[in-house]
Structure 1
């Protein structure tokens, strides 16, 4: 498991776990910074001391071999894994060079040292400065809140209102800074891979020109170098797409933070100050707690947490709520207070203080107090507004008209589908295409009024405007799973199976589109739109999560991979799902069956992906035949659970002499 994503919505809660995740990201960047610093030092040793070149190479190789990039989320793409493995490949290459005893003159200042120093100074250094500001603003914000909450409620209203405004402005500034810092942290985690590996690649390229046998070594390394360059470019392209999505989500949350609160197991959660009474003459103290409440069970949990103590969690306290009562200002010298009484602690009540009047009202509403004026903390996820585009006959007409025009006029245009059209013209064209009265009048193949980039943008806009993505919300997670792991063959089999679970209209439109994209990729030498580039463009278009979060955006690269698989394996994926012969398990050698090569006469697919063969009315037996289910993830075979002898006899009797079972029907477990 890599680093956990930092959700922008968590900036507003600023929970202890959010702080722990931030510290994990900071620790990883510090580790990277120290490693790059050491690597720069090693590189300078290579330049300054040719007599100790062999020792410096061994140290350099050792550093590369032991370092491993951390990643955000729960999986890496194949390109990222190749980039990670590239450091070990570079290490092995250096070990081979060490056998060469010839004196070599290395000039690595321009190719390695300066780019790393620039990355460390401009990128990692910028994050350090952001961390200082973030820590300083954290201290200032909570110190100001502490001071504000200690204001006596007996002060003049004008004075209190002015103080409220000042605190709110400061809190808003803190939230803004927190959002920027979280965005910067995640951006540098994603950027560091290609920003670091690219100078390394240049460094190795430079070495070839100085070694006596550099030409031969370069020939041996050339194939891997080209693959790595593709990996880096793919990762960079995906990073650019991810970064724009992250920034868009950050801006949405900045404008309406309450509308983007994440679903939580708790009805309400947040910081409250809890009064801790002490024996005379010590009075009482107010301790900040992170509080969580589950309304269904009336379970209240509070954990002491103080940022100034190093962010360490204290021992939690749990009780069951009996009632909640609002405290009047004249009964206590603090604002925003309310009392809660525990059902399992008779006669004992706790006084709590919220950060503001609005938050107090929200807590009162959730806890069943008297002022139930505001909606609960956990708002329902606001669904995306339904567009006017529909998956109907008109939609298929739009798709086919646009595809014919593109393939007729612009199949060789550079940057096809990547270059966007003018927004107003795209919207006007799409409106005309979606209007029954004007659709047939629009001639995209011959008219010069509509540029190819306008047509491609209109096509993408139509697909994005569908009420549900073409590959559906329901199957979104299922499509992502095989893109994260497994062999290339198992990925294709899994995607094959899932495509045939799509509704018929979705599957039909996807088939038309992917066939077209395959044609586009076949002209990549002219239009420069490789399969990877098309994946970057159409990944977010054909697949999108139902809830917008940073974690979902981090899966954007796997959406791209799914689209790449569809394009590269279009002919395989569009073939209907059949069954293919496979050997029986050893346990059933007493009942040997040969399953030859034609479709099964009868078969059903249940919701779990299990194929059940059943006897038909013609057999007259009414007994179910054995189930066929997926075997071990590494096996493409099937397991036939032959139970009684009768079932085996029925199976042998029913199967056509030439029937055939295909593993493409099944998902890996």
Structure 2
């Protein structure tokens, strides 16, 4: 399991687990920084000390072999695995060079040291500065809240209102900084792979020139080098797409943070100050806790947590809520307070303090208090607004008209589908195509009024405007699974099976589109649109998760891989398969219990059926994968 994604919505909760994930990202970057620092030192030794060349190369190779990139999410792409394994390949290459005792190229400074120093200074150094600001603002924010919450409720209303405004402004500034810091942390985690490996690749390329047998070694290494260059470019392209999606999500959450709260198992959660009473004459103290409440079970969890104590979790308590009562300011010298009584602890009542009056009202609503005026903490996922595009006869007409025009006029245009048209022209064209009165009047194949880039952008916009992505929300997670693991053959089989689970109209439109994209990729020498490039363009267009989160965006690269599989294996995936037999008797014991039992087994399974069985696909007599 790699590093957990940092969700922007969690910046507003600032939970202990969110802080733990931030520290994990920071620790990984510090580890990368130390490694690069050591690698730079080794490289300089390689240049300066020719007499100790052998020792420097061995140390360098050892460092490369032992380092491994961490990734965000729960799986790597094949490109990322190759990039990760590339360091071990570089290490082996160094060992081969060491056997020949040749002199390392003096151009190492330009090809390796300077790029790594630049990356360490400009990228990792920038993250360190962001961390200092984030830590400083964290201290300032919670210190100001502490001070604010200690204000007496008996002060003048004007004074209290001014203090409230100041605290809220400071909290908003803190959230802004937190969002930026989280975005920067995740960006550098992804960027470091190609920013670091590319200088390494240049370094090894330079070494071939200066070694006695460099030419022969270069020929042996050339195939892997070309594959690695493709892997790096694919990773870079996916990074660019992912970064734009992450920034878009961050801006959405920045504008409406309450509308993007993640679905949670808790009805309410967040920080509260809990009054802890002490024996006379010590009075009482207020301790900050992270509190979580499940309304269905009336279960209340409170965990002491203080950021300034090193972020260590204290021993939590669990009790069942009996009732919640709003606390008036004339009964306590603190604002925003309420009392909760435990059902399983007779006579035990806790006084809690929220950060603001709005948050107190939200807690009262969640806990069943009297002031149930505000919406619940646990908001439902806001559905995406539906556009005018539909999977109907008009939609197929639009698709075929656009594809026909592209293949007639621009199949060899460089950057086809990557170069976007002018937004206003794209929207005008799409509006005309979607209007029954004007659709037939639009001549895309012969008219000079519509550029190819306008047509391709309109086609993509139509697909994105569908109420549901072409490959459906329901099957989104299923399509992602095979892209994360398995052999190439098993991936094709899995995608094949899932494609034939799509609704008929979705499947028909996908078939038309993928056939066209296969034709585009066949002209990649002219249009430069390889299968990987088309995957980057159409991954987010054909597939998208129902809920927008950073974790979902990190799966964007696997969406691209699914589209690549569709394009590379178009004929295999779209050909219908009819499986004639059912499971062998011995296989019934391993058959998933949640799937329906099929007719009585008969006959041995062939290789195709065995593959589907291993994937958990139920096979029955006359069971078609495509009706």
TM-score band, normalised by the shorter chain? Answer: over 0.9
Does the 8 A contact of 1:581 with 1:597 survive in 2? no
More helix by share: 2
Does the 8 A contact of 2:577 with 2:624 survive in 1? no
C-alpha displacement of 1:7: 0.1
In structure 2, distance between residues paired with 1:157 and 1:440: 68
C-alpha displacement of 1:213: 1.1
Does the 8 A contact of 2:426 with 2:457 survive in 1? yes
In structure 1, distance between residues paired with 2:221 and 2:264: 51
1:428 aligns with 2:432: no
Q: CA distance change for structure 1 residues 600 and 222 in 2, over 3 Å: closer, same or farther?
A: farther
In structure 1, distance between residues paired with 2:587 and 2:407: 55
Does the 8 A contact of 2:580 with 2:621 survive in 1? no
SS in 2 for 1:73: coil
- After superposition, the C-alpha distances for 1:7-62 in whole angstroms (9 at most, x for unaligned) are 00000000000000000000000000000000000000000001110111100000
In structure 2, distance between residues paired with 1:619 and 1:19: 47
Does the 8 A contact of 2:483 with 2:561 survive in 1? yes
- After superposition, the C-alpha distances for 1:538-567 in whole angstroms (9 at most, x for unaligned) are 000000000000000000000000000000
Q: CA distance change for structure 1 residues 318 and 106 in 2, over 3 Å: closer, same or farther?
A: same
- After superposition, the C-alpha distances for 1:183-222 in whole angstroms (9 at most, x for unaligned) are 0000000000000000000000010111111111111111
Does the 8 A contact of 2:15 with 2:270 survive in 1? yes
In structure 2, distance between residues paired with 1:604 and 1:56: 60
Does the 8 A contact of 1:497 with 1:577 survive in 2? no
C-alpha displacement of 1:524: 0.3
SS in 1 for 2:18: helix
Instruction: Tell me which residue corresponds to 1:549.
Output: 549
Q: CA distance change for structure 1 residues 251 and 211 in 2, over 3 Å: closer, same or farther?
A: same
Moved more, 208-217 or 231-240: 208-217
In structure 2, distance between residues paired with 1:142 and 1:608: 61
Does the 8 A contact of 1:475 with 1:498 survive in 2? yes
Does the 8 A contact of 1:191 with 1:239 survive in 2? yes
Q: CA distance change for structure 1 residues 283 and 613 in 2, over 3 Å: closer, same or farther?
A: closer
Q: CA distance change for structure 1 residues 57 and 393 in 2, over 3 Å: closer, same or farther?
A: same
Does the 8 A contact of 2:9 with 2:262 survive in 1? yes
C-alpha displacement of 1:591: 21
SS in 2 for 1:612: helix
C-alpha displacement of 1:101: 2.4
Does the 8 A contact of 1:208 with 1:215 survive in 2? yes
In structure 2, distance between residues paired with 1:617 and 1:400: 33
C-alpha displacement of 1:348: 1.4
Q: CA distance change for structure 1 residues 341 and 90 in 2, over 3 Å: closer, same or farther?
A: same
Q: CA distance change for structure 1 residues 9 and 607 in 2, over 3 Å: closer, same or farther?
A: farther
SS in 1 for 2:607: coil
Map 1:105-254; keep pairs closer than 5 Å.
105-254=105-254
Q: CA distance change for structure 1 residues 615 and 570 in 2, over 3 Å: closer, same or farther?
A: closer
C-alpha displacement of 1:102: 3.6
C-alpha displacement of 1:577: 1.7
What is the TM-score when the length of structure 1 is the normalising length? 0.88
Moved more, 574-583 or 255-264: 574-583
C-alpha displacement of 1:603: 13
SS in 2 for 1:99: helix
Does the 8 A contact of 1:605 with 1:612 survive in 2? no
C-alpha displacement of 1:73: 0.1
In structure 2, distance between residues paired with 1:125 and 1:615: 46
Does the 8 A contact of 1:4 with 1:72 survive in 2? yes
Q: CA distance change for structure 1 residues 229 and 598 in 2, over 3 Å: closer, same or farther?
A: farther
Does the 8 A contact of 2:391 with 2:466 survive in 1? yes
SS in 2 for 1:571: helix
In structure 1, distance between residues paired with 2:569 and 2:612: 28
In structure 2, distance between residues paired with 1:348 and 1:496: 61
Does the 8 A contact of 2:265 with 2:294 survive in 1? yes
Q: CA distance change for structure 1 residues 615 and 485 in 2, over 3 Å: closer, same or farther?
A: closer
SS in 1 for 2:590: coil
Instruction: Tell me which residue corresponds to 2:579.
Output: 579
C-alpha displacement of 1:578: 2.7
Instruction: Tell me which residue corresponds to 1:661.
Output: none
Q: CA distance change for structure 1 residues 591 and 434 in 2, over 3 Å: closer, same or farther?
A: closer
C-alpha displacement of 1:579: 2.9
Does the 8 A contact of 2:208 with 2:218 survive in 1? yes
For structure 1, the residue ranges without an aligned partner over 5 or more in a row are 626-669
Does the 8 A contact of 2:388 with 2:466 survive in 1? yes
C-alpha displacement of 1:115: 0.1
Q: CA distance change for structure 1 residues 15 and 573 in 2, over 3 Å: closer, same or farther?
A: same
Does the 8 A contact of 2:579 with 2:622 survive in 1? no
- After superposition, the C-alpha distances for 1:253-295 in whole angstroms (9 at most, x for unaligned) are 0000000000011000000000001111111000000000000
Does the 8 A contact of 1:65 with 1:91 survive in 2? yes
Map 1:56-135; keep pairs closer than 5 Å.
56-135=56-135
In structure 1, distance between residues paired with 2:433 and 2:250: 33
- After superposition, the C-alpha distances for 1:468-524 in whole angstroms (9 at most, x for unaligned) are 000000000000000000000000000000000000000000000000000000000
SS in 2 for 1:611: helix
Does the 8 A contact of 1:106 with 1:207 survive in 2? no
C-alpha displacement of 1:106: 3.0
In structure 2, distance between residues paired with 1:469 and 1:168: 39
In structure 2, distance between residues paired with 1:369 and 1:571: 62
Provide the alpha-carbon RMSD of the alignment: 5.0
C-alpha displacement of 1:618: 24
Q: CA distance change for structure 1 residues 605 and 169 in 2, over 3 Å: closer, same or farther?
A: farther
Does the 8 A contact of 1:603 with 1:614 survive in 2? no
Runs of 4+ more than 2 Å apart: 101-107, 578-625
Q: CA distance change for structure 1 residues 337 and 603 in 2, over 3 Å: closer, same or farther?
A: farther
For structure 2, the residue ranges without an aligned partner over 5 or more in a row are none
Q: CA distance change for structure 1 residues 582 and 256 in 2, over 3 Å: closer, same or farther?
A: closer
In structure 2, distance between residues paired with 1:280 and 1:590: 66
In structure 1, distance between residues paired with 2:332 and 2:307: 26
Does the 8 A contact of 1:496 with 1:573 survive in 2? yes
- After superposition, the C-alpha distances for 1:55-112 in whole angstroms (9 at most, x for unaligned) are 1110000000000000000000000000000000000000111111244443200000
In structure 2, distance between residues paired with 1:164 and 1:235: 47
Q: CA distance change for structure 1 residues 218 and 276 in 2, over 3 Å: closer, same or farther?
A: same
Q: CA distance change for structure 1 residues 146 and 207 in 2, over 3 Å: closer, same or farther?
A: same
Does the 8 A contact of 1:362 with 1:374 survive in 2? yes
Q: CA distance change for structure 1 residues 319 and 106 in 2, over 3 Å: closer, same or farther?
A: same
- After superposition, the C-alpha distances for 1:283-319 in whole angstroms (9 at most, x for unaligned) are 1000000000000000000000000100000000000
C-alpha displacement of 1:596: 27
In structure 1, distance between residues paired with 2:104 and 2:139: 54
Does the 8 A contact of 1:614 with 1:624 survive in 2? no
